Amino acid sequence: MTRTIRLGSVLFGATLGLGLTPVNAPAQDATDDLVLEEVTVTAQRREESLQDVPISISAYSHEDLERTRIGSAADYLVKTPNVGFSEDGEGGSRSINVSIRGVSNITLDGVATANSIGYYIDELSVGAVAQGTVNPQLQDMERIEVLRGPQGTYYGRNAVGGAINITTVKPGPEQYFEGTVKIGSFDTYGAEAIFNVPFSDTFMARGVFAYEESDTPIENVNPLGNDPFYEYLTGRLSFRILPSDDVTIDLSITRTDEDEGGDIAVPSGVVDLDTGSIFGLGPHDAIDSGQGFYPDTDDRIDRDTIERNDKSFTIINGRVAWDLGKATLKSVTGYIDSSFDREADLDGIPFTFGPLPLRRVNDYGGTSWSQELRLMSSDDSKYSWTLGAFYVDDDLDRINQIQIMPDDAPSGDPEGFINSDQMNFRFKSAALFGEATMPFNDSIDVTIGARWSRDKVTTSMIDFNLGPEKVSGSKTFEDFSPRVVVRHMTDVSTFYGSVSKGYKAGGVDVASQQQLFPLPFESEDLWSYELGFKTQFAGGRANLSAAVFYNDWSDFQVQTNRLADPNDISSGVSATQNAEEASSRGAEIEFTALLAEELIWAVNLGYIDSEFDDYRDAVLRGQTNGNDNIIDVSGQPLPRSPEWTANTWLQYDFDLGNWASFVRAEVTYTDDQYSDIEAIGSLVGETVFGDPFNLPAFPYQIDSYTLVNLYAGMETDRFRIRAYAKNLLDEQYYNGTADNFGAAGIRLRPHFRELGVSFTIMSR
């Protein structure tokens, strides 16, 4: 912790030195009102200035999202300090796994019974979907906030490591319409429409509809397969009803369909442990059909099976706010219906080259409904307090099949199944939470909060290889998580220190090894310690925030898999392990300065040092010399936790005739990282049995990458034009190595330069 605080002091001094000189260079007259705009957030379920909230937060406004064409989680996460993520391409172009300060779901298939990161859209938790990690379309958003650290005392669903809080634009009293058409690289086309209709002073509606399609940069050279592509269609209808001056009713219905043809990923030529065990291949014995491997080949694949990744979800979100005078009663009711259907060429090569033509079929579906009640003090109350109750019921189904393809019809009906199973996850949770802020004097206040949770997790499975019998396991967990914050406020600064506990429910795996049996695992606990400050200087023309933190885990959850028989792909044994201890420490700095009336500059830095402190029995896929691949990863870093993350941008606003215009240049840096537990294993030289365990550095050890983006735009009251160049220098990089079985090697998602332009017409 001392090392972290020292690092924070160094970073603070460096950034302050960078910022003060240009900001203070021009003299400021007494009448000069040139100041940064105040940023409003709802991190604590009420509107507050970002500078006053005692939490480390990165916020992206409606203007940020629209000007920099943020349409996916990766677009804003890459700009956020101490946030790591991996895009493996497996599961579609929007599949993503997120880590905040080292906290993430370490899974094999992207699906966790309880999520480490909270995801909220208009106060509704959307963390339980068939796709694993939700990555919603982002049209017509008011703001996005990324909160770092446990968030359990004013949120419905628990969030052990942080939260992503998405707020949509609500229906308003003025009539409005805008329509947009856009075109981009790789034959990408899209259209959007937004309308706002006030039917009366008490009933308003807003609608958003968007369509986008792309051929993507990847070509499949095999005529029996298909090229990767995507086609997105989304719509949202929102209604606001004001039955009285004291009651506000908001209702929204969102439907999204994402249809994709195969993974946007190319083979690495390095065989993973699973494939090596089944086919008797070494890491570098991948089969080349003549197309080559990444990075020499980054835009061609050779797959002989029709592939698809089809995702859909429907979200119904109803909110009622009743102003009682000295308090506000809030109700949030939600229902989510989601599905994910996947068909993939599992072996990754033409059937004439491979030892066994394989095809994978997944059918995932899920429903989730939740109810939250929250009573909050009014904004003018001397004491700020929140009391809440929450209940959620998640029901997720998964059907997995591995099929043998007949030699004479690679994309036809399978001759048989190698593996076929059906699983169900049921997660029921009830919680009481609350906190109160009490003033100690005119400048210091203390916040005390707590959350009590009771979670029941049930898992059932049918392994059709063993017969039609269903086996189930269930376990109930209870937890009490406190939070204490001390805050000191001046006219321009906020200083704070916090201690909070995060909790992630345990569960039950149903393992298959000649017979089915339930295998419980423990809940994950995290204690988080944070010191931070937020300040304004240079007459309100510069904002600086910084935080140092230390996270201490016990029973860190890691999903693993191995083969009971190294020559039998149907003998997989999946289980969630609890690593005894893990920790992370680091610092974040966010700095923004208004250099001149037309010129704004920002610098964001993150540093993290994370590791498994005690994890001596990590089980990885495959076997070596008859022994399980059990390794000691104590002292190794946590997945998806790059040591350094940095982002800086410079924006210039100007008038071009009647057009309000801007240009913005942005540079983002992400340090080396490892995207999963098998990648962490590449850092270990031998198993606990003393057998050699030499996974190659490539592709497991992911290199750092730097992205340069340019944005420009101009608009009047009626028209808007936007242009962008993402990854301007065409940096060749990837950021994930998920478990991708296949004789051609682990699949990697390449990234390319993207150019695009959009045109919008508006009517008020």
What digits encode the pLDDT tens for the residues 716-732? Answer: 999 999 999 999 999 99
**Buried-state track 533-556, b at ≥16 Cβ within 10 A, e below 16:** bbbbbbbbbbbbbbbbbbbbbbbb
- Give the residues across from 40 on adjacent strands: 49
pLDDT given for residue 687 in this prediction: 87
Say what the pLDDT of residue 721 is. 98
Q: Given CA atoms 60, 66, 69, 72 in this order, what sign does their dihedral have?
A: positive
Joined together, the tokens standing for residue 156 give: 């419905």
Q: What is the pLDDT of residues 640-669, one digit of tens each?
A: 999 999 999 999 999 999 999 999 999 999
Distance (Å, rounded) from C-alpha 73 to C-alpha 137? 9
Q: Could you say which residues of the chain have pLDDT below 50?
A: 1-31, 407-414, 624-625
Distance between alpha carbon 286 and the CA centroid of its chain, in Å? Answer: 31
Share the mean pLDDT of the chain.
88
Q: What one-character DSSP code corresponds to residue 704?
A: P
Query: What pLDDT score does 19 carry?
Result: 37
Contact 305, 347 (CB under 8 A): no
Beta strand spans in 245-357 (E): 247-260, 266-267, 300-301, 308-323, 327-345
What is the pLDDT, as a whole number, of residue 209?
A: 98
Q: Residue 514: its pLDDT value, please?
A: 59
Which positions ≥6 away from 634 have C-beta within 8 Å? 612, 613, 614, 615, 616
Residues 6+ apart with CB under 8 A from 137: 71, 210, 232, 234, 256
Q: For the chain, which residues make up each domain, given as ranges? A: 2-763
- Residue 562: what pLDDT? 65
**Structural contact between residues 57 and 615, judged by C-beta atoms closer than 8 angstroms:** no
Fold classification of 2-763 (topology level): Maltoporin; Chain A (2.40.170)
Residue 578: the pLDDT is 94
CB 344 within 8 A of CB 403: no
How many CB atoms are closer than 10 A to CB 442? Answer: 7
- Residues in CB range of 357: below 8 A, 6 or more apart: 304, 347, 351, 404, 405, 406, 407, 410
The confidence score (pLDDT) of residue 10 equals: 42
What is the predicted pLDDT for the residue at 409?
Answer: 42
Q: What is the pLDDT of residues 227-282, one digit of tens each?
A: 999 999 999 999 999 999 999 999 999 999 999 998 899 999 999 887 887 778 88
- Nearby residues of 177 by Cβ (< 8 Å), 6 or more positions away: 193, 194, 195, 196, 762, 763
Give the dihedral sign, CA 611/499/1/532.
positive
What integer pLDDT is reported at residue 23 of this predicted model? 34
